[in-house]
Amino acid sequence: MKILSADQIRALDAYTIKNEPITSIDLMERASVTFVNWFIKRFKPHREVYIFCGPGNNGGDGLAVGRLLTHVQYSVKVFIFSSDRYSKDFDINLKRLEKLVTITKINSKEDIPILSIGGIVIDAIFGSGLSRPVGGLYADIIKSINDSKVTRVAIDIASGLFCDANNEDPVKLKVDYTFTFQLPKLSFLFPQNEDYTGCWVIGDIGLNKSFIESQSSAFTYVEEEEAFSVVKPRSKFSHKGDYGKVLIMAGSYGMMGAAVLSGKSCYRAGAGLVKFHSPRCGVQILQSSLPEAILSVDPEENFISSLPDISGFNTVAAGPGWYEGAESAFLLQQIFENKNINLVLDAGALNVLSKNKELLNALPQNTILTPHPGEFKRLAGEFSNDYSRLEGLRKFSQRYKCIMVLKGANTMVALPDGNVSFNSTGNPGMATAGSGDVLTGIIAALLAQGYSPAMASKLGVYLHGYAGDRAASKSGTASIIAEDIIDGVKDFYLEFDKKYSASL
């Protein structure tokens, strides 16, 4: 799904009204009905509902929502503000609502209402048309709502949040839910906006699909349909050689578990063959934890010091559980000399790169790097906010022609062509030791099976999050361990076999 800018969204609204058999006021009605259908499923009518309506079309939505909720027996209190310019559709909806309920105009601070505990605030003050930080009376009301013990629901986007740009100003409405129209907004995907986004859902209001298709955007949001549509079904006549050979170079004394987790997830995600290159101390651990894997043994007891013969492997995964000394930098240098291999680097390998930045210039094209935020900071430096960090991620990927997988909620995958996808699966339970090792194994497995590095990254991240969500549905978010995520990989392929695989 594409993520469009505020300007593109405005153009999309205008195009829809011009080219589809729907007027602007009817489109607003459709949007409001969509919102109300969602709202009444979630909130029962016994709670007091306060609707705050700004002067534009977001406010117009609020007024229409007020009318629709009144019709289904919700008790609504509606507030508007003095303005010298209300939008046309605001005026029409104001007239429609005035016949049903008393509308209060807030002219000064003294008019700001006290909200009853347990009430619900519907925020229709500003939507995608916010053009500057919020000040004056609007700021006072936002602060007052933020201080109240109510549930807050934003229509389209919380007031004070820009769709696609940073707003340094602290005046923004904190919300529990955002019901947004048609497409996700870039700002929902950043950790810094968690309080101003809450749980967000998309309502399809029938904006013109071909216009959306025609728009160029560097940003996409990967959801179920797109992810499953690229999974390759297996041919009846295939054999293990068709699913690739992965060499995993992971683990050191005390950290062999990282290698085990990568290897297991690599097999679960469908690799044909997995071989570990292991320090001597890891031999027993690996052989007994993963009998399916074969082993090459490094001369060093406690860490990997040398590169085995990698001819015959189409994919190498390196870094989980790594010792981060000078030997590892030399090892990376040797790996990088093999330009025709798919490569995924994680954890220790990334830290070695951070300490030896000159090595970045030798990265084979389309190498996949999977840093968490701390590792990315060591690689690329610090950024003042999540928007500039996104730009930093894109620049890094473009500069070194590598694929950057920045892990976190809505993991970002930045490609050397400047495009970035945001992931839709996953949950906070996946913030657990070993979760990253599992992702490395999954991406390596997909690379080995012939997915392009870009596809392996995007699908791998989706699959990893999906597996984590399945794990959470079985054991609860906080108790997820990395092994559970590996188990969840089975559920992903089961779902594919049942629902999507044409061959079954």
Out of ligand NAX, K ion, none, what residue 324 binds, judged by CB under 5 to 8 A for its kind, is none
User: What stretch of H or E contains 247?
Assistant: strand 245-249
CA 276 to chain centre: 31
Out of K ion, ligand NAX, none, what residue 386 binds, judged by CB under 5 to 8 A for its kind, is none
- What does the per-residue mask of binding to ligand NAX show for 68-87, with x meaning CB under 6 A? -----------------x-x
Dump the DSSP string for 15-56: HHHHHSS--HHHHHHHHHHHHHHHHHHHS-TTS-EEEEE-SS
Number of residues that bind ligand NAX (CB under 6 A): 29
Q: Is 409 annotated to bind ligand?
A: yes
Compute the least distance from the CB of residue 206 to K ion, in Å.
20
Q: Is 132 annotated to bind ligand?
A: yes
Compute the least distance from the CB of residue 54 to ligand NAX, in Å.
5
Which residues in 108-137 contact K ion (CB under 5 A)? 123, 127
Out of ligand NAX, K ion, none, what residue 154 binds, judged by CB under 5 to 8 A for its kind, is K ion
**Which residues in 311-460 belong to E strands, given as ranges?**
315-318, 342-345, 368-369, 403-406, 412-414, 420-423
**Cβ neighbours for 41, distance < 8 A, ≥ 6 positions apart:** none
Compute the least distance from the CB of residue 17 to ligand NAX, in Å.
6
User: Can residue 156 be called a binding residue for ligand NAX (CB under 6 A)?
Assistant: yes
Among the listed residues 55, 203, 251, 429, the single contact to ligand NAX using CB under 6 A: 55
Going by C-alpha positions, the residue among 53, 47, 54 that lies closest to residue 67 is 53
Cβ density class 463-489: b for 16+ within 10 Å, e for less = bbbbbbbbbbeeeebeebbbbbbbbbb
Angle value at C-alpha 179, between 171 and 44, nearest 5 degrees: 105
The burial class, CB within 10 Å (0-12 / 13-18 / 19+), for 10 is: middle
User: Can residue 53 be called a binding residue for K ion (CB under 5 A)?
Assistant: no
**Cβ neighbours for 150, distance < 8 A, ≥ 6 positions apart:** 50, 115, 116, 117, 118, 119, 120, 121
User: Can residue 58 be called a binding residue for ligand NAX (CB under 6 A)?
Assistant: yes
Map tokens 């979630």 to a residue: 42
User: Can residue 154 be called a binding residue for K ion (CB under 5 A)?
Assistant: yes
User: Can residue 13 be called a binding residue for ligand NAX (CB under 6 A)?
Assistant: yes
User: Can residue 61 be called a binding residue for ligand NAX (CB under 6 A)?
Assistant: yes
Q: Is 456 annotated to bind ligand?
A: no
Q: How far apart (Å, rounded) are the C-alpha atoms in residues 243 and 245?
A: 7
Compute the least distance from the CB of residue 101 to ligand NAX, in Å.
20
Torsion angle, CA of 423/467/445/432, rounded to 10 degrees? 80
Out of ligand NAX, K ion, none, what residue 87 binds, judged by CB under 5 to 8 A for its kind, is ligand NAX
Among the listed residues 51, 53, 76, 127, the single contact to ligand NAX using CB under 6 A: 127
Among the listed residues 3, 54, 76, 402, the single contact to ligand NAX using CB under 6 A: 54
Q: Is 410 annotated to bind ligand?
A: yes
The one segment of 51-59, 83-91, 277-285, 397-405 that binds K ion by CB under 5 A? 51-59
Q: How far apart (Å, rounded) are the C-alpha atoms in residues 378 and 151?
A: 39
User: Can residue 164 be called a binding residue for ligand NAX (CB under 6 A)?
Assistant: no
Compute the least distance from the CB of residue 32 to ligand NAX, in Å.
7
Angle value at C-alpha 331, between 328 and 336, nearest 5 degrees: 130
Q: How far apart (Å, rounded) are the C-alpha atoms in residues 484 and 261?
A: 11
For the beta carbon of residue 274, count every other beta carbon within 10 angstroms: 27
Compute the least distance from the CB of residue 158 to ligand NAX, in Å.
11
User: Can residue 89 be called a binding residue for K ion (CB under 5 A)?
Assistant: no
Which residues in 17-36 contact K ion (CB under 5 A)? none
The SS3 of residue 246 is: strand
How far is CA 52 from each of CA 58, 143, 404, rounded to the nearest angstrom? Answer: 10, 13, 42
Compute the least distance from the CB of residue 220 to ligand NAX, in Å.
21
Contact 51, 76 (CB under 8 A): yes
Among the listed residues 126, 190, 376, 466, the single contact to ligand NAX using CB under 6 A: 126
Out of K ion, ligand NAX, none, what residue 181 binds, judged by CB under 5 to 8 A for its kind, is ligand NAX
Query: Binding site membership for AMP: which residues?
Result: 407-411, 436
Q: Indicate the annotated binding residues for K(+).
A: 58, 123, 159
Contacts with ligand NAX by CB under 6 A lie at: 13, 17, 24, 27-28, 31, 54-59, 61, 85, 87, 126-134, 138, 155-156, 181, 205
